Amino acid sequence: MVPIRQNEKIRNIAIIAHVDHGKTTLVDAMFKQAGLFREGASVQDRLMDNQDLEKERGITISAKNCEVEWKGVKINILDTPGHADFGGEVERALSMVDGVILLVDASEGPLPQTRFVLDKALKLGLHLTVVINKIDRGDARPLVVFDEVNDLLIDLDATDEQLEFPLIYAIGRDGIAKKDLDDEASNLDVLFDTIINEIPGPTHNINTPFQMLVCDLSYSDFLGRLAIGKIHNGSVTAKDKLVCIDKNGDRTPLKVSKLQVHKGVGYEEVETAEPGDIVILSGVSDVSIGDTICAENAPEPLPRLEVEEPTVSMRFTINTSPLVGQEGKIVQGSKLQARLEKETLNNVAIQVVPAEDGDGWIVKGRGELQMAIIIEEMRREGFELCVGRPEVICHKKDGKLMEPMEHLSIDCEEIHSGVIIEKISKRKGIMSNFMTEHGGRCKIDFLVPSRALIGYRDEFLTDTKGSGIMNSISAGFEEYKGAIPSRLTGSLVADRPGSAVPYALFHLEPRGTLYIEAGAPIYEGMIIGVRNKEHDLNVNPCKAKQLSNVRASGKDDAVVLTPVSPMSLERAINIILEDEMVEITPKSIRLRKKILSAQGRKGAKKREN
């Protein structure tokens, strides 16, 4: 019989939820009640979302670790992303915990990504606590949401034990939690007590020497590479002789310069750490996520951290436009490759391989949002690059081509449901559920090929006049569904270099919708707008008005151009066609043809035919 012991002084939990259901706000309230901040101190909202992009977009991109203490018990909290594109971060976080708090909005109820994160937790056998949040909303329906959570658990084949979950009602923003809707409460005592009483402490084998699974990497300017993970067995001190076992079984001796644990939102140096704690080892240079760090005299690897396979790929290349180097400082291919390889070290869901034709690199991930975040981070670091259209990754099985599918959930006004059902059906989507909600809105569920959703989001927002909500999660692979109609219109392509002239743009407006404003730099092969007909049209946006001594300077009416919507990164990578790319610099986002020369494009089309 294996001698197993539980560490009752520690609780490791993850907070999981759909996007914008209040995870990070609840963690803020837990910090305040646990006395992490002195009274009257000014504390920013969503403290755990410390990246610039997280603050700007209001979403959690990477899982964060923190710690609070309650009644003498140390609680390590992992705040996880809610978006399925960052599923690798969720899987990484769940590998370090023994229980999860499932947060569900009291109005919206369980949504697709609630299903995604909950399914991961149930498969790992983690102990579950459900918190129905935002019960103070005017349209809150907590009792109905409770039934929906039960239905979701049954649908996900939860065990009898997992179905007997503790239930808490909360207003995370105000730091209030209670067992019953009619209870009076002014703090989170109920939540803290439930964590300690219902979620077990981490277990370990008392006869096994030190073992730790590396679940995250960080970097310090003073300490170098930091390896973060949970101690599965044994204890460790900063002076111990350790060894790292990589995915090939190779062993590398390690010299740990400092041993730290989480203290609040920061780190605290300690002499020793015990089983079940989440530790930070400093000075470990050659280590990757999924490696095992263990005692030198007993090198036994733990099961590696496994994440789902990527479903989307994009081509990344150096910037080859005539404007290269004017706005960014990093344009070399070697530096672009090094940056992409660095991303794979910190992001378990990303893979990078050289393109088969030698032109750039193929980056594989979970979705367009994940790709857009990587690109946005790179442009803020000073990179100039070009990226292609996102493509789904298909597989062969038993001689058949299999493509990734997604569960798509639409929340919209009932008046818009007809056009949505029609367009999703044309994209090979199959409706699985239609449910009318209160307030004239409805929920529609589809099973749809992943490639059908590339470029659809902008069209969806137009069709629903900005009031629709669209969410999707992976639904495995099914046999290829056949051709799907993509964008039916062509592009307006500049045929010469120069600067955009108002007179020329005014006369091009009837031909389509423009992406550029007057004065913008132009080069041959740059896409200046979308045409309102099929096929591309080469145009001259630099053509000036011809003056003569017959015309008076004030005779003609002033040119008034239609305002142009700023081109966002997500919009750009979604609207380009297969023969187009997005040029990205720290200051600009431009659309362009892969082959800039009009003559070169003609020749390529002839060869293709």
Q: Which residues are annotated as a binding site?
A: 20-25, 133-136
Residue 151 CA to residue 591 CA, distance in Å, equals 46
Give residue 124's identity as a one-letter amino acid code.
Answer: L
Q: Which of 15, 120, 27 is nearest to 68 (CA)?
A: 27
* Sequence-ordered strand ranges (E) for 221-257: 224-233, 236-237, 242-245, 251-254
Q: What angle do CA 399, 405, 406 make, to 5 degrees?
A: 170
Give residue 149's identity as a one-letter amino acid code.
Answer: V
Q: Which two tokens stand for residue 515?
A: 């992406």
Helix (H, G, I), strand (E, B) or coil at 445: strand
Q: Which of 446, 410, 448, 445 is nearest to 428 (CA)?
A: 448
Residue 354 CA to residue 357 CA, distance in Å, equals 9
Phi first, then psi: what are they for 42, rounded to 5°? Answer: -85, 120
Residue 158 CA to residue 286 CA, distance in Å, equals 40
Q: Which two tokens stand for residue 229?
A: 């993970």
Alpha helices for 323-416 (secondary structure H): 333-346, 368-380
Q: Which of 533, 483, 543, 499 is nearest to 513 (CA)?
A: 533
CA distances (Å), origin 133, targets 101, 161, 212: 11, 23, 34
Alpha carbon 220 to its chain centroid, in Å, reads 24
CA distances (Å), origin 26, targets 59, 194, 356, 493, 531: 14, 15, 47, 49, 47
CA distances (Å), origin 40, targets 32, 36, 43, 188, 503: 11, 12, 9, 19, 59
Residue 186 near residue 178 (C-beta atoms within 8 A): no
Size of the chain, expressed as the number of residues it contains: 609
Q: Which two tokens stand for residue 96?
A: 């370090």
The neighbouring-strand residues paired with 293 are 212, 244
Task: Print the SS3 string covering 553-609.
Answer: CCCCCCCCCCCCCCCCHHHHHHHCCCCEEEEECCCCEEEEECCCCHHHHHHHHHHHC
Residue 527 near residue 499 (C-beta atoms within 8 A): no
Residue 596 CA to residue 123 CA, distance in Å, equals 50
**Residues flagged as binding site for GTP:** 20-25, 133-136
Q: Which two tokens stand for residue 447?
A: 């099973």
Compute the radius of gyration of the chain from its Cα atoms.
27
Q: Which residues contact 488 (CB under 8 A, 6 or more apart)?
A: 534
Q: What dihedral do alpha carbons 189, 191, 194, 196 form, nearest 10°?
A: -80
Quickly count: other Cβ atoms within 10 Å of residue 153's Cβ.
Answer: 20
